[in-house]
Amino acid sequence: MFKKILIANRGEIACRIIKTARRMGIATVAVYSDADARAPFVQMADEALHIGPSPAAQSYLIADKIIAACKATGAEAVHPGYGFLSERTSFAEALAKENIVFIGPPVNAIAAMGDKIESKKLAMKAGVNVVPGFVGEIDDTEHAVRISEEIGYPVMMKASAGGGGKGMRLAYNEQDVREGFEATKREGLNSFGDDRVFIEKFILNPRHIEIQILGDQHGNILYLNERECSIQRRHQKVVEEAPSPFVTPKMRKAMGEQCVALSRAVGYYSAGTVELIVSGADPSGESFYFLEMNTRLQVEHPVTECITGIDLVEQMIRVAAGEKLAMTQDDIKIDGWAIENRVYAEDPYRGFLPSTGRLTRYRPPVAGWTEDEEANGRRGVEGVRVDDGVYDGGEVSMFYDPMIAKLITWGKTRDEAADLQIAALDRFEIEGLGHNIDFVSAIMQHPRFRSGELTTGFIAEEYPDGFHGAASTPDLVKSLAAIAGFVATAEADRARHVDGQLGDTLDPPARWQVKIGDAVHDIEMIDGDMHVDGEHFDLSMEYDPGDRLIEAEVGDEELAVKVSKMRTGFKLTTRGATHIARVLPGHIAHLADHMIEKIAPDLSRFLICPMPGLLTTLHVNAGDAVEAGQPLAVVEAMKMENILRAEKSGTVKIVNAKAGDSLAVDAVILEME
């Protein structure tokens, strides 16, 4: 076994690998950029070496720097995690030349599966079902249009070397192809150094299901069941679960055996994932097709670990060291259900715009997963596990992807795992930047999610007008009103004791009026008991002024509520929604009806940058006439291109920025007449 390994990655996956290596008695080396100098993974590793500036292209993506770090520290092997150099054949080859072990699959398998065009050809030869499409290189946009028309719309355009949801465009017509083909090429070139694109038929009512593969260097290859990854936004997975609510035992066996056959055809070993697109319109479950193979560890690997009890990182290390797998296919079982939600630095209330900045407060519901959970099948504390790589006061940088953490829950049933997600998300405290906690909590509660009727179009179909918070029941609003009244009483009681300046004779108001949305409730404390609208209300809670998280019991139900003060009340967040509670003493509540409403200014004639990013393209100049919906500019943020369009027709008056400028959020790019 190795004595020392180097992790050629950062963030939560670097922390994840270090934890398993430590449990195995293996020393670890971290490499880090300027932006990650104080990151948790750097502190956790036994050794850490600085390898360059913040941009990945100047640090984590330079193989020579990784190899130099191995030589300097005596690391015998490298675990690449996912992303960065994990599927770069030149990196694996360079390591081999220096007699450094690559903890991953053989180079020929990476090469074969990393090229989507070639991998599709290999899949066909191995007897794997493939999606109808054009397998070959596409010359230009006109060629792409002809191919798309021959296949039949809708079609999906994909960067050949793509992954992680990048370099993909869905086209419903010729105009979509003309607008998206060049953008797909650019994203492929910028993210993967390869601008080749292929086009295939888009499967209706598609489900995204993947099979976890594990093989050793002695010819043993197993499939570790499936994961359902259908809930995606912009082709980026948001929710993953294992097993799938759609897959039958017969279907699981057919999928698994085809994926093993493909893996065997390329001599695969280590952990890998074969991604499949499944037609949800086929009740037989037999319409599944090869999508791609990821020759690395997946972001969503924890859900497989939870239901199988197998540490995939440990197995990768053991396989790389030449050990045989200690289990057979018959040993692979399904125990319970696991769900993973990706907690991203993005604002779902503002169209999921990336949100970078400092985490002024970071409190996960449980401490990050530790090796002492080995006896609990890597399921976390009481079924809750957090894989993260950030810290309180740290920064989520514009240089890398927007993931803050992964929240994984395990239960005996799917509903139990989902309920644990809701409870844990309510207790997840993140301040300082936008995040998607409300959004993923809303998904966990959604009737369609609960029914298991999932497709990759779930988010677009269920939130066509954007996300505005999870739906709330009148009972929940009533509970929040009671909590707001309790907090207001506690705050008022504190205020009268501040240096005694208010005098002990000024008792806090006993009655409050709380307005949440259109609902108005009268709250009264009588001899320490809560009354809402004249009736006794069963509320049990404690609150100290300054608390940000309240643990309350409403009747027999537990309710965790995040609270922050506002000028006229409180902001209360729970169950996937943020509620503004206006709280006034009962005797002056009528004055609120006479307050003047502030009207927001009209900003429709300005093109405002919605996120921090790089202005890569400006399509217009001063004096140009534009039509509503016309592309005006392209801003790149967190490795994704965002097209900004005109809200209305008009003429450009002033242009305030140029291509190549780094823009702050709310920067005015141009102004219309």
Catalytic residues: 292
Dihedral sign for Cα atoms in the order 567, 572, 578, 580: negative
Rounded Cα distance, 178 and 141, in Å: 6
Rounded Cα distance, 573 and 286, in Å: 43
Rounded Cα distance, 214 and 325, in Å: 9
Rounded Cα distance, 309 and 333, in Å: 9
Rounded Cα distance, 584 and 143, in Å: 66
Say how many Å lie between the first and final Cα of the chain, rounded.
69
Of all helices (H) and strands (E), which one includes residue 302?
helix 301-308
3-state SS, 520-566, equals EEEEEEECCEEEECCEECCEEECCCCCCCEEEEEECCEEEEEEEEEE
Structure-token pair, residue 497:
């004791």
Q: Are strands 395-396 and 357-358 parallel, antiparallel or unpaired?
A: antiparallel
Of all helices (H) and strands (E), which one includes residue 514?
strand 511-516
Sequential DSSP letters for 100-123: -EESSS-HHHHHHHHSHHHHHHHH
Rounded Cα distance, 125 and 262, in Å: 9
Residue 59 CA from chain centroid, whole number: 24
Do the Cβ atoms of 256 and 273 come closer than 8 Å? Answer: no
Give bridge partners of residue 358 from the DSSP assignment: 395
Q: Are strands 27-33 and 47-52 parallel, antiparallel or unpaired?
A: parallel
Rounded Cα distance, 240 and 563, in Å: 29
Q: Is 321 exposed, middle or buried (0-12, 13-18, 19+ CB in 10 A)?
A: middle
Structure-token pair, residue 85:
């150099």
Of all helices (H) and strands (E), which one includes residue 291?
strand 288-294
Sequence-distant (≥ 6) Cβ neighbours of residue 636 within 8 angstroms: 190, 613, 614, 616, 642
Structure-token pair, residue 147:
């191919």
